[in-house]
Chain A
Amino acid sequence: MLTDKQAGHIRHMRNLMAQPDGDWSHMDSMEAGQEGLSSYRYQLGHIVYALGLAHFHHLPAAPCVFKEAMQAAIRKMLRREVWGYWFEASQSDKRIDPDLEGRREQWHDPVVKENIMYSGHLHAMAGMYGVLFNDDRYEQDGGLTIRHSPLFVGEEMEFKYDFSSINDIIYWQMVENGWLGVACEPNCIFLVCNQFPMLGFRFHDIRKGTTIAEEAAAGYRQAWQDRDVLDRPGTMPMMLMVRQNVLVPGGPATDSHTGAIMHAWNREFVREHRRSQVYQALKTADDGTVSLRPLAMLPGTAESYEEVDDAAALDELAVQWSTPDFGTVLMWLSELGDEETLSAMLAHADKHMNPTWEKGGLYYPRNDRSYDDEGNLTFVEPLTGNVLAGYARLNVPDGLWQLYNHPWGEAHFRQPNLSECPFEVDVLQARYDDEQGILSLTLRPVKDTVEEAKLVIVNPGGGSCRILRNGEPLNPVVGERIELDLAIDGPIDLQLVRDGKA
């Protein structure tokens, strides 16, 4: 059964995705031009991953709760506000490529080359969608076509893609780069951004019967081992500057984000680094809540943290936070299963980061102020506040690892499930017990009003079924599609019991 907070996070993400296209309320960040980790593409990607994990682990028999929101996230990814930055970014710059002799010729297409910080997410999002809903809409020819058709501003553009064509483009760039990864900004291969296509390769294998994930994992490990990066303890690099062959050091922030995703395909390695710098950066308050030192300001070795004395804590308060380190550490803790630390960090968030309920949804509003007057970390940017806190609350230990390694088989999609439910109703429980032949649902209205709800349950098994509402039988039903008209005036339990069972 979902907790109120878990249901609240799902609701908030659904609310965001239900906003009209072009309405990015709550999702705008400090940086202009879709730079930084709170850019729309990262929020949209992580919303899909968070909702996907919630569906897989908590509400497996309620695809209707997630499907439309995940479709909306993918649709929004194709909008120009999300990818239009690439035309400027594609020309490169001496700051990211000191040997650049002149600006490169720009191009609009955000998928065809580099820009894995966009294409890698689109790849993983479409793949996860297909795996969780057994739905091939993004696998159809042109299923992920990117269009922009302005009347006055700029030229008409159409870039025709689908899940497999994006998969192929990323795969061949990986091959060409010796499996070190694909560049985000020109010349910059970030480790974290290359973790998402690793998920995408696996999802492609599941959907299309290819065998890329194993090759990708072996190739990636070897490529980075050749650089003596993945074998030694401590931090992973943040990125490789390709032309200069320079590894830019990482820190707890990049370690946690990279590790949270890499854990799906490289679990032992990530677990060996459990005592990496991330733990050195935790700060425990007198009340037992846990927050962070300013990670991005203190990259370096684990030892450097141990050398920090109390006086340094005062200096921390002068730091202006700007990146979602708090959120990525939450993600990392949730995947690695350190529930005690995770709970203590969420307690800090609940105490100092202004948890807010809106339209039945729970989020932590953006707050650019780093610390309050008592020195408590209060900084929240949209990726953490809208998504990552929810991701961490909704994930389970090894959650992404399980989805990657043990996805649903065909039998799952033949089981009874709630396929339609009004947007105004929260689903707190949706699980089918195959042994008992019972589908158990718990529903409640989002607002304190009665919802006249039309529910549709599919795959009940063909024979007659009994429906119980709070244990009381409703009229018997028959058929492959059961429609129920119910007044939902508070939390209700519904059970569908296949006759002949239980």
Chain B
Amino acid sequence: MARIDVERLTKTFQSIKGETVEAIRDVSVAVGDNEFVSIVGPSGCGKSTLLYIIAGFVAPTAGAVLVDGKPVRGPGPDRGIVFQEYALFPWRTVQDNIKYGLEEKGVPSDEMERIVRRYVRLMGLEGFQHKYPKELSGGMKQRVALARTLAYEPDVLLMDEPFGALDAQTRELQQDELLAIWREKKTTVLFVTHSVEEAVYLSEKVVVMTARPGRIKSIVDVDLDRSRHREDVVTSAVFERLRNRVWLDVREEVLKHHALSTDQFGRDRSD
């Protein structure tokens, strides 16, 4: 049985102008236990919407999401989420942010301290425990956000372009940290990104979505030797081939979307 089963999900909503917009149509995906799956697609293809439905923040118009066979009816601690905008509680210090989910769970305080210490160490946040989010860099904030979610030990990790706001160097470091954590903790990850490179580098399976309304265009299995270093992986022929494959699929959709939103003179019709 798959950990997450997305069954024929459709989501339509009313735009401000009163038009009915179909964000995703008839999407079915299965994510296996301990699997790392990425979703890529052109912007506006509904990949974040899909993630929010799985998280239980948004109700689907049709279809269902099953986690461990049970239908999702709202947000729950079995599915941890990490956002691009970090979403740390600004009134809580680093350690109190990490504690949040543990407090909700009712973990005894000495146990809580122990878990917080472990994640502070794991994420390289030593010396920053008592800082507030506004005093941290973007990369640091995202590490706190990840620690806050992991400390709760969710069965599934949902990530919505978590490294999208980071500079290229920080982003690569964070990717490798995430891979290390995923390998160590053996959690199931569903990762939304618009970076083909990132999707192929991180995941075992890449799901490509079409332009709006988002449907599944292709599912690409990524078989990379992850015991090797980053530079060896990204320069390998296998990586190159997979990246090109996914890139072409995404590009086709981007062009389609572009053609839809421009007239015959190439002018932008999207607004």
The answer on A and B forming one complex is no
